[in-house]
Structure formats: structure tokens, C-alpha cells
Chain A
């Protein structure tokens, strides 16, 4: 009896490890395959007998991507700088606007407060995929009216990224501002600190982690964004961001998988790094309130 029980336990444990191994391979293999393809010579890619591990490691694809001209008149560096400008810029802008709004919502009672919050909750549900036509038309007309070019270059994309990440950013930062004990501010005020000092010395240090998490969240969203950039930049290859430049390869007669995988790796690395920082908060931020504790 005892032996049967032990055997079952042992089998159960072996099964658990096997299942874990299978899940691990399922999750990691495609990521590995990107790297393995990016690092092997072209001859090893276009073969009917691919090997699991590259027989030879080469950086030729990375060199091609970094130095080569992918689309006439552009380079990887122009895509990278476009991506950086539009993501870093929009994230900084979002963080600033969101911080101001979050302070208003967390620290003041005012008439439109709940209306504002409900609007944020509802508006973040409206899919950009549905809005894309009217966004395009809106910016086309806005550009005409203001005599600016908003369609076909990065400025329209920039503003849309700000707007799209604002609601969730405001709500996330709001939680951090609310968590700052009011007594702390009051004590500082009694000690004669000005509003500005209270903000910088007491509020900011406590809100900064939330601001950072929300910013990284917004960064990842903008960095990966495809549809808006693709719709707005279609004809202007000079303004392409990295994700859009990646899809351009598929128009070619024969697809250069080595270069694509190298470029894809370069696109992925910054996201992975940031992801490690906010992984915990991603879960708690998205499932806010559903898990107690």
C-alpha cells in the first residue's frame, strides 16, 4: 500500500516536470529560433535539412541590417531613431500629462471628477482598430485646418500614442498618488514647506516608481505599435518606425529570413529588458482589484 502510494507520488512528480519541460520548450523555442536563424549563415537557413543548432555562428545578418540599405533612401538607423523619437517623446509627454491629471483625481474633490474617471475607463476600451478610419480622417482634416502635415509623418502618430496610453497611465499613477499619506504632506505644510517643495520632496519620491512603471508600460505599447504607424506612414518610408520596417521585407520577391530575424532581434531586445523591470506590475496593474492582497 505504502509502496503504491510512493510510486504514484513519484510518477506524479515526474509528470509535473515533464509537463513543465514541454511548456518551457513551447514558450521558448520560437524565441530561440529567431536567434538561431539570425546567427547562422544564409546557406544554413535556406536548406531542406535545417539543424537545431547553428553549425557556424555568423554576424553577417546583423551587419547587413545595421549597415545595409533595406529600403532605398533609408537605413536601420533612421528606423531606430524614428522609433526612439516617437516612443520616448510620446512616453515623456504622456507621463507629464498623466501625472498632472492623476494628482487632480487623487488629491482633489471636484464636480467632474467621477465623470472624468468613468470617461477614462470607457475610452480605454474603445479599440484603435475600430477608430483607425476616423483617426485618419480626423488628422487629415486637422492637418489641413492647421496647415500642418499630420498624416504621412510622425507627428500624428506621436499624438495618437500619447492619447491612447493616457487613460491607463492616469489610472495607474493615480493609485500611487493616493497611496501617499496625506499626513505626510500636512506635516510638511505645518513645517512651512511650500506646495512646490511638498510636491518634489514628498510626493515625487513616493510616486516615482509608479511613474516609471506606467512609463515603461506606455513605452512597450508604443514601441510595438503597428496599425497606426502603418496607416499613417504608408507612403513615407523615411518616417518608418522599426515594426513597420519589418513588414516591408515581405514585399520582396524572396524573403531574406536571416536579415529579418536579425532586425527582429534588435527590435525585441529593448522590450525584453524593460519587461523584466515591470513584469510584476504588469500583472497587478492589469488585474487590479481582482486579486486581494
Chain B
């Protein structure tokens, strides 16, 4: 155990100390630092330090022995060189991109359509639908994954029963014991449905809130000009709600990029080599391989973090600007 914990550096807070002879002004200057100190300490120990450690581990040969205290050897970006030329990594990467994009596109399109629909419905219908959406949204991720696994269960699942009872010319035969969870071609679509089911309500309700903020005159003007619903969406709604759409899009990408629990439950663990997304792959390298390869897992984790930060750069920039304008 050679590492020492980094204390958050707060020159102004530490230098004067808590002596009694301080002037009122100095004491007042210290107050904000004392107020953020507890939060900062927790963040430093639990998040900032591990972020640094993730970088450090990704650059070293790091396995069980190193965890138990052996010195870790610098490996000259070896993990990165390996990962970036590894076919397995790229296939996981490709799956992640395809699955994530499908989720995001479906969530955004469905969510927007439902938001517009709710805006058009009379109040009672829109409220009722909103309540229904909330049920899906509020379901814990793990419960959602479990019920979809049950719906698509091989032997007693509702979906297979229904497919079996439908005419063969329509859906084909042999649904009786069809296993949806064995191959990526059938498992990933179910994963997409599970995630979209839980995330489109948030988009729908956000879009509804946005639509309510657009003055009605704009739509009336468009209607007088003879615009169709399609054109009035692209010429009025979309430009007015562009910041909202941008934000929703980024949030969805980031959330869907991180999917772990649903895949873990649907695939029944992480033992199936063919069914991996980046988060489960990291987990497998760290905790389900013998021996665990923390170095390699961390290298992939760094790649994932960089991707997420790049994707969220627009959002972060907007937020930081907003801060500066305050």
C-alpha cells in the first residue's frame, strides 16, 4: 500500500487555521470553504481519486498480485495498443454503437410523437396517458428487465404463446421453445425494447412541457399559410424546441451508453461471449475473468469515459456558459 490519499488542496482554508485572533473578514472569507469542504472531501476520495487511478491502472500491468500490493509495472500504453487492434473489442464496440443508436432513435421518435399526441388530446385523456407513462418510467430498472425476461420466457412466456397461436403464414412456426436470449440477433432487440419502454415517457413528458411553451399563434399562422402537420412540426415546433431536443438527445445517448443491469438480467449474467456491451465487457474483465485483468478493463473504461465526455461536451459547454452568465 504505497499510495496515499490526496487531500483536497485549499490553501486559503488551511493556512490561517482556526485560531481565535482572526479578523471578522478573514473568518467570513473562510466560511464558503468550510461549507464545501465535507462534500469536496467525499468527492475527492470516492470519485476524483478513482478517476486518476483508472488512468494510472490503464497504463500498468495490473492484476490480482498488484491488487494485493505488488508493484505494478508501466507497460507503455500496451493495453491501449492491444485493445485498439483487438477484434473482440471492436465487435463489442460496434454492438454498443448499434444498440445505443437504435435505443436513442426509437426513444426520441416515439417520445416526440407521444408528446405531440398528448398535446392534442383533451385533458382527461392526456392525464390518463401521462399516468400510464409514469408507471413505465418509475419501474425500477431491474424490475423492468425481469418482466421482459418473463414476457419472452422460452417455455411459458406470453410472447411465445401468442406467436405460436398466430397463423404460420404470418409469423412462421416453432415458437414453442424459442430461446430469445441466446444470440445477439434476438437478445439485443429485446434489450432495445426494454430500454425504450422505460425511457420514452421522459422524452414524451419533456416534449409535452416544451409544446405547452410555444405560443399557439405560431401554429395558427402556419395553418393559415396552408402548412401540413409535418411542415408545421419542422417549421415551428422543431426550431422552437431545438435546445430541448439537443439536451434530450445527449441525455439519452449518455444513459443508453451505460446500459448494464438490463443486459445482465436478460442475458442471465455475463458468461455469453457474444452478448456484450462496453459496460458489461469492462465488468467481465475486472470481475468475471480468471485472472482479472484490471489494467485492460481500465483502459476500456478510459476509452468509454472519454467517449461519454466528448458526447456530453455540448451539454457541458452550455451548462458552463449558463454558470458564467449567472
Q: Does A205 contact B (CB under 8 A)?
A: no
With CB as the reference atom, state the residue of chain A lying closest to B268. A250
What CA separation (Å) do A28 and B45 show in the bound complex? 42
Q: Does A64 contact B (CB under 8 A)?
A: no
Q: State how many residues of chain A have any CB contact under 8 Å with chain B.
A: 99
Kindly list chain B residues whose C-beta atoms are within 8 Å of the C-beta of A272.
135, 138
Kindly list chain B residues whose C-beta atoms are within 8 Å of the C-beta of A138.
46, 49-50, 53
Q: A110-B32, A272-B138 are in contact. Are A131 and B213 (CB under 8 A)?
A: no
With CB as the reference atom, state the residue of chain B lying closest to A114. B323
The B-contacting residues of A in range 170-193, CB under 8 angstroms, are: 170
Helix, strand, loop or mixed for chain B's interface? helix
Kindly list chain A residues whose C-beta atoms are within 8 Å of the C-beta of B257.
127
Helix, strand, loop or mixed for chain A's interface? helix
Kindly list chain A residues whose C-beta atoms are within 8 Å of the C-beta of B202.
282-283, 286
Which of B42, B117, B261, B297 interacts with A226 by CB under 8 Å? B261
Residue interface mask A14-52, B partner, CB < 8 A = 1? 001101100110111011011001000000011111100
Q: A27-B133, A271-B140, A272-B135 are in contact. Are A125 and B308 (CB under 8 A)?
A: yes
Kindly list chain B residues whose C-beta atoms are within 8 Å of the C-beta of A6.
none
A268 touches B54 (CB 8 A): no
Residue interface mask B5-41, A partner, CB < 8 A = 1? 1000010100000000000000001011101101110
Size bracket of the B interface: 35 or more
What CA separation (Å) do A257 and B150 show in the bound complex? 8
With CB as the reference atom, state the residue of chain B lying closest to A28. B132
A137 touches B49 (CB 8 A): no
Q: Does B227 contact A (CB under 8 A)?
A: no
B302 touches A130 (CB 8 A): yes
What CA separation (Å) do A131 and B125 show in the bound complex? 44
Kindly list chain A residues whose C-beta atoms are within 8 Å of the C-beta of B320.
118, 121
Q: Would you mind naming 24 contact pairs between A and B with Cβ atoms under 8 Å apart? A: A24-B129, A27-B133, A31-B147, A101-B40, A104-B36, A119-B48, A121-B323, A123-B43, A123-B51, A125-B254, A129-B282, A132-B301, A133-B57, A134-B50, A224-B142, A226-B264, A227-B261, A243-B140, A250-B268, A264-B143, A268-B139, A271-B138, A283-B205, A291-B244
Which 6 A-B pairs rank lowest in CB-CB distance, beginning with the nearest?
A: A163-B46, A104-B35, A108-B32, A129-B279, A275-B138, A130-B301
Residues of chain B whose beta carbon lies under 8 Å from any beta carbon of chain A: 1, 3, 5, 10, 12, 29, 31-33, 35-36, 38-40, 42-43, 45-51, 53-54, 57, 67, 114, 117-118, 120-121, 125, 128-129, 132-144, 146-148, 150-151, 153, 156, 158, 161, 197, 201-202, 205-206, 209-210, 213, 243-244, 246-248, 251, 254, 257-258, 260-261, 264-265, 268-269, 278-279, 282-283, 285-287, 294, 297-298, 301-302, 304-305, 308-309, 312, 316, 318-320, 322-324
